Amino acid sequence: MNSEVQDRMPYAPLLALAMAAFITILTEALPAGLLPQMAQGLAVSEAWVGQTVTAYAIGSLMAAMPLTAATQGFRRRPLLLAAIAGFAIANTVTTFSTSFTLTIAARFLAGVAAGLLWALLAGYAARLVPEHRKGRAIAIAMVGTPLALSLGIPAGTFLGNVLGWRMCFSIMSLLAVLLMAWVRFNVPDFAGKAEQKRLSLRYVFTLWGIRPVLFVVLAFVLAHNILYTYIAPFLQVAGLGAQTDVVLLVFGITSLLGIWIVGLLIDQYLRALTLASTALFGISAMVLGIAATEPVAVFVAIGAWGLAFGGAATLFQTALVRTAGDASDVAQSMLVTAWNIAIAGGGIVGGLLLDRLGVEAFPPALLVLLVATLMVTWSAKLRGFPVVQGVKSDAI
């Protein structure tokens, strides 16, 4: 009976972590759906409002690794609460700001909070459960991400049109404050690392298996963002430009299915699921390249892409937790950095491809990245994506 009690999933704290992921993604992406309203309210162009997303990404990129390394000795729950408080403050400032400069500063602060929070989430979820449940726990904690993408952002955009963009950010602030109370009373605290056990970024980066996982994150997410960032012009080829919202809804729904499947199977089949997700994304890219003018084929390929991408973050974070062991928080900060580089790179590389070669160049570019991802995942048999699950990492 005692083993059954210990084996139960701690849903209340895990769902609190999922809510934190939901708020993080929604805070990041909400301006994209509210560009006209925010531009009018701040008296700047829509292009300038778009830079609020850039400021957020820069904050995450700059803060994740140094801030995580510097706070290794801090107790985990107060650190998590501080990150959530960052969102409450940033979204409150955004709600009332009439200055574009102040809004950009608030968005940068939100990005800093996100960099810290993403570095904490997977390791926190893993510490809540026994070893054989870590993958499923991380999957539950990460379910807020596809929920935000598939439901939260469309709902936020709708509310922005009905109630105004400032009300949307005020709701986000309220959610963050409520989440702080939930975390304080339902999420257990953990001690930070003793000074003699704290690890440098350089040391963690040299752990056997860390670099293959980071490469897979960078290549897979770069491929995703090249297509996701410029999905609207790509869909115009198939005559689906006016149905971009429907296509993204299909992507969001299959992403939810993807994370559900990964959550069920990840603790036994991490390596196989990573290989299968990469291969499925590659097949989707091939279909988009061959039948880009066929609406039905495009919808099927987009659905397969969502299925492949939905559980990707959970797969990569679980691989890094298992590989890094006690260094998981520092390793996760590297994943956050790689992920944000891939987001920025998707915009840059995709834009260059679009301007110089057209959307026809997207599928071949995706295939190159995904083949490299598949090869590195396949070769990381001992550390990173091991054939035998639960293998721990040692320094090189």
- pTM, full prediction: 0.81
Tell me which of 367 and 355 has the higher pLDDT: 367
Q: Are 271 and 336 within one domain?
A: yes
CATH number of the domain at 24, please: 1.20.1250.20
Name the DSSP class of 392. P
Nearest-CA neighbor of 337 among 4, 111, 148? Answer: 111
Query: 331-353 pLDDT, tens per residue?
Result: 888 888 898 888 878 878 888 88
Q: What is the pLDDT of residue 392?
A: 47
Quick check: is 393 in a domain?
Answer: no
As for how many domains the chain has, the answer is 2
Q: Are 109 and 144 within one domain?
A: yes
Query: 153-170 pLDDT, tens per residue?
Result: 778 878 887 888 999 999
Q: Are 349 and 252 within one domain?
A: yes
Query: 101-149 pLDDT, tens per residue?
Result: 999 999 999 999 999 998 888 889 988 988 888 888 888 988 888 788 7
Average pLDDT over residues 359-381: 95
Q: Are 32 and 148 within one domain?
A: yes
Q: Are 108 and 224 within one domain?
A: no
> Distance between CA atoms of 275 and 286, rounded to whole angstroms?
16
| 228: containing domain | 201-379
Question: With b meaning 16 or more CB within 10 Å and e meaning fewer, what string describes 193-229?
Answer: beeeeebebeebbebbbbbbbbbbbbbbbbbbbbbbb
Average pLDDT over residues 175-186: 95
> What 3-state class would DSSP assign to 207?
strand
